[in-house]
Amino acid sequence: MKYSIGTPPFETYGIADTGSDITWTQCKPCTSCFDQSLPLFDPKDSSSYALVSCDSDTCSSSQSFGCGTDDECQYEVTYGDQSSTVGDLAIDTLTLGNTSFKSVLFGCGHENSGTFSSDTSGIVGLGGDGATSIIYQLDKKIGGKFAYCLSPDANSTSHISFGPDAVVRGTGAVSTPLIKKAEQATFYWLNLERLSVGGKSLTVKSPSVSISGRRAGGIKQASVEGNIIIDSGTTLTYLPSDLYTSFESAVKDAISATPVSDSSGLFPLCYSSDSLEVPTIIAHFTGADVELSPKGTFVEVEEGLVCLTLIPNTNLGADLAIFGNLSETDYIVAYDLVAKTVTFKPSDCSKF
């Protein structure tokens, strides 16, 4: 996602992530950073940049924040794949499109590592934590509304919008309740009632009373309402193991071709890419049936090999499930934190 930070605006790109809160970018001086093809942000070049002090309310507003050695507030975040970022907590002007927002809290990362590509400078936090997420920081201007349309075509541009432009209505639009849990404020939860494969229905059992968060902290909750996290920052969709077993079986039954092995070992179900007939797969959320795009359901992971992008949650724990970004492709996905809904509308996102 393209955005600018500082005065004058310094343009950069970050991963738009509904599964994390703090927005951060790699900053000079970079003590230990991942390779970045974009220029690094230098806070000395911004006249509106200011560090957050240790004794401020902001510094005590999150477990990710703490006092550094120079009486300046530091942040530290570790993600579920063990990628991490450490740096100074600061405020500066954030520019989205033609609109600028003053005094936005963000992280100036000096030690960053993990699975970040060179095309990004960090993360744009679109999560639900009111202390740090830009969705809440910009709330007076955007009213808790944002939407994105993710294209499965690597050669086309996906789109994101905020405020009134993110309201989605019309033919094909379906809405489901957006569920927030106080113990896991970051995440946006949906309620997945069942999956269907080529007309065969698979019921989703209620989650167990103890499930742990995807990101650092291992927070647990005991509510059965809301059983899957919608997360633009996770690529694949993760299903509870028992549901995945019956789901995979149904997909195999619906495809006449013979499965082949994935050399990486990541994907349990793969086929030769020659004219694969992908069955109709529908995620039935409460009040919203979402037919998954075949382009996002099976993707080519190496030449001649396509694999199912819904996999078991083997390393996530218990019944935790995540609805990842490949399953969201070719839909306008609109979040309304005031109405507490997520709306899906089919769209060719490559021509949005």
Domains 2-142 and 168-351 share a fold: yes
* DSSP state string for 88-149: EEEEEEEEETTEEEEEEEEEEEEEEESS--TT-SEEEE-SS-TTT-HHHHTHHHHTTEEEEE
Catalytic residues: 17, 231
CA distance 150 to 325: 8
Domain 2-142, CATH homologous superfamily name and number: Acid Proteases (2.40.70.10)
Place of tokens 């793969």: 270
Q: How many CA atoms does the CB half-sphere of 62 hold within 13 Å?
A: 27
Which residues, in sequence order, are CB contacts of 192 under 8 Å at separation 6+? 204, 227, 228, 283, 284, 285, 321, 323
Express each pLDDT in 119-137 by its tens digit.
999 999 999 988 799 999 9
pTM: 0.90
Token code pair at residue 310: 């819904």
Res 206: pLDDT: 59
Does 168-351 carry CATH code 3.30.70.270?
no
Burial degree of 263 (CB within 10 A; 0-12, 13-18, 19+):
exposed
Are 323 and 344 in contact, with CB atoms under 8 Å apart?
no
Question: How far out from the chain centre does Cα 192 lie?
Answer: 18
Express each pLDDT in 15-73 by its tens digit.
999 999 999 999 999 989 999 999 999 999 999 999 999 999 999 888 889 997 778 89
Are 65 and 74 in contact, with CB atoms under 8 Å apart?
yes
End-to-end CA separation in angstroms for the chain: 15
Res 317: pLDDT: 64
Res 183: pLDDT: 83
Residues 3, 23, 178, 316, CA torsion sign: positive
Of 232, 279, 273, 231, residue with least CA distance to 255: 279
Which residues, in sequence order, are CB contacts of 265 under 8 Å at separation 6+? none
Res 316: pLDDT: 65
Are 238 and 322 in contact, with CB atoms under 8 Å apart?
yes
Phi, psi of 252 (to 5 degrees): -60, -40
Place of tokens 């992008």: 309
CA distance 221 to 215: 14
Distant-in-sequence contacts of 217-220, Cβ < 8 A, 24+ apart: 217/63, 219/183, 219/184, 220/183
Domain extent listing, the chain: 2-142, 168-351
Rg (CA), the chain: 21
pLDDT in 10s for each residue of the chain, 352 residues: 999 999 999 999 999 999 999 999 999 999 899 999 999 999 999 999 999 999 999 998 888 899 977 788 999 999 878 899 999 999 999 999 899 999 999 999 999 999 999 999 999 999 998 879 999 999 889 999 999 999 988 888 999 999 988 999 889 999 999 999 888 889 999 999 999 999 899 988 754 333 333 333 333 333 448 999 999 999 999 999 889 999 999 999 999 999 999 888 889 999 998 778 999 999 999 999 999 999 999 999 988 899 999 999 887 666 689 999 999 999 999 999 999 999 999 999 988 6
Are 326 and 152 in contact, with CB atoms under 8 Å apart?
yes
Token code pair at residue 239: 């299903």
CA distance 94 to 121: 15
Res 187: pLDDT: 94
